[in-house]
Amino acid sequence: MTRPALLILGGTSEAVRLAEMAVERFGTSLRIISSLAGRTTAPATPAGEVRSGGFGGVTGLRDYLAAEQISLLVDATHPFAAQISDQAATACTQAGVPRVVLERPMWPQEAGDDWRIVADATEAARTVGSLVAEDPTLGVLLTVGHNDLAQFAGIAGGRWVVRTIEAPDDVRPDATVLKQRGPFQLAGERRLFEQHGIGVLVTRASGGAATAAKLTAARERGIPVVMIDRPPSPPGPCVDSVGQAIAWISGRMENR
Ligand code: NAP
């Protein structure tokens, strides 16, 4: 008889940890399949089976759930990967596959933080544009997603540092590009801010320990952080740790 399968929608460090723990805990009774979008070169390889590339929208994902006899799905994608999360919610409802969202908690704001929370990259670019207009030599550290970089390309002035995992296409030609992948330690972040004279940090409200040190570095320097707010959480049940996701899978296995 074919073993039932757990599908983990991944692309995050939490998804990699979840796959590892799920293989350890349930590997004999459950196929563990991680799905990656296939955007980054040399992504961390999760334990268990791995598939890569889009499914082809809701219909494609629904067909995949049926073909692979997926009996449980954990959406452990990045909080800003809204499209795949919405599609997973719809496909699972249509296919009757139980689904949970593993959403990492947002970073807490602390005393001394100067966060300017904005709705999207357009508003972030407007906010940074005003700061650069006041001080054309301002050092700006951009740690936003690939897709959002173009928004900042037209701002006149400023000294720009862009940190991304993959070499970006739409980056402003005068930017210093740092092709780096977290986790980032506080000592390194302090050095980076100091070396480039960073006066404003632009980031998305991603949460997670791997990239939290930049917020401490910004707080210590007393500089503003332009924080792009998260899109709304996907509908349905949600857990905020890998341990809770394992408990959810365990509960579902017992009820089978
Ligand atoms: P998105 O906008 O929500 O999704 C765009 C399309 O990419 C989806 O419609 C789907 O294609 C495909 N896709 C996305 N995640 C997939 C997955 N795990 N497995 C298979 N197909 C997937 O996603 P995104 O923001 O571009 O992010 C892509 C991936 O990178 C996600 O897995 C996410 O966890 C990871 N990631 C994203 C960010 C971020 O800032 N957005 C940061 C770190 C990691 P089809 O419609 O063809 O199925």
- Could you tell me if residue 96 is left (phi over 0), alpha (psi between -120 and 50 degrees) or otherwise beta? left
- Ligand 1 touching residue 36 (CB < 6 A): yes
Q: What average pLDDT does the structure give for the chain?
A: 95
Alpha-carbon distance of 96 to 72, in angstroms, equals 10
- Ligand 1 touching residue 80 (CB < 6 A): yes
Q: For position 230, what pLDDT does the model report?
A: 96
pTM confidence score: 0.93
For ligand 1, mutation pick of 35, 83, 86 (most atoms within 8 Å of CB): 83
Q: What is the 3-state secondary structure (H, E, C) of 86-146?
A: HHHHHHHHHHCCCEEEECCCCCCCCCCCCEEEECCHHHHHHHHHHHHHHCCCCEEEEECCH
- Ligand 1 touching residue 12 (CB < 6 A): yes
For ligand 1, mutation pick of 84, 101, 164 (most atoms within 8 Å of CB): 84
For ligand 1, mutation pick of 35, 61, 78 (most atoms within 8 Å of CB): 78
Query: For residue 43, how far is its CA from the centre of ligand 1 (angstroms)?
Result: 13
Residue nearest to atom 35 of ligand 1 (CA): 11
> C-alpha 60: how far from its chain's center?
23
Q: Using one digit for the tens of pLDDT, what is the confidence trace for 53-66?
A: 999 999 999 999 99
pLDDT band at 127 (very low <50, low <70, confident <90, very high): very high
Residue nearest to atom 16 of ligand 1 (CA): 37
- Ligand 1 touching residue 182 (CB < 6 A): no
Contacts with 126 (C-beta within 8 Å, 6 or more apart), sequence order: 118
Evaluate if residue 1 carries a pLDDT over 80. Answer: no
Q: Please tell me the least confidently modeled range out of 110-124, 160-174, 176-190.
A: 160-174
Q: Using one digit for the tens of pLDDT, what is the confidence trace for 194-230?
A: 999 999 999 999 999 999 999 999 999 999 999 999 9
Residue with the bigger pLDDT between 255 and 35: it is: 35
Q: How far is CA 156 from CA 139, 151, 171, 172, in A?
A: 13, 12, 14, 10
- Ligand 1 touching residue 191 (CB < 6 A): no
- Ligand 1 touching residue 83 (CB < 6 A): yes
pLDDT band at 146 (very low <50, low <70, confident <90, very high): confident
Alpha-carbon distance of 230 to 238, in angstroms, equals 15
pLDDT band at 97 (very low <50, low <70, confident <90, very high): very high
Q: Using one digit for the tens of pLDDT, what is the confidence trace for 47-95?
A: 999 999 999 999 999 999 999 999 999 999 999 999 999 999 999 999 9
DSSP code of residue 44: P
Atom of ligand 1 nearest to the CA of 40: 30
- Ligand 1 touching residue 54 (CB < 6 A): yes
